[in-house]
Amino acid sequence: METNNLKQAIKPFFWVEHSNSFSVCLDAGSYKQEIFDTRADEGFEGNGYDWASLADVFIQEKRPDLIDIIHFDPEAGMFCAYSSDSEKLKEFILNFKNACEDETLLKDLFSRAELD
């Protein structure tokens, strides 16, 4: 997929190219906050760590082929996934974004997310 089309397809996530790796990031709290609010009593806030926990469940269950390829480096205010394999990272973020848009699937995956 062409980078401009990818950027549109993954919004509000955004694509970052580094000298020898690639990242997709999200400003925490800007997207799907209501899903995290359902488990606020457990300590979920919708921060970057919470997003990484959700993305980890997604990879474990839906894309186990990416476990050793996609890595997470969250911060309180930002979710970040990175890889040296741009094509695999593109596959991940397109699949993950689609999962996020499927409310039933998203709730199911989030039910198994664990606080970091």
Grade residue 84 by pLDDT with cuts at 50, 70 and 90.
very high
> Rounded to an integer, what distance in angstroms lies between the CA atom of residue 46 and that of residue 31?
9
Q: For residue 33, what are the CA distances in angstroms to 47, 50, 51, 70?
A: 9, 11, 10, 23
Prediction pTM value? 0.95
Q: For residue 34, what are the CA distances in angstroms to 50, 104, 116?
A: 13, 13, 19
Q: What percentage of residues in the chain have a pLDDT greater than 70?
A: 99
Task: List the one residue out of 71, 61, 47 whose CA is nearest residue 99.
Answer: 61
> Rounded to an integer, what distance in angstroms lies between the CA atom of residue 78 and that of residue 73?
9
pLDDT tens, 44-77?
Answer: 999 999 999 999 999 999 999 999 999 999 999 9
pLDDT at site 3: 73
Mean pLDDT, the chain, rounded, equals: 96
pLDDT at site 115: 93
pLDDT at site 89: 98
Q: What residue type is assigned to position 27 of the chain?
A: D
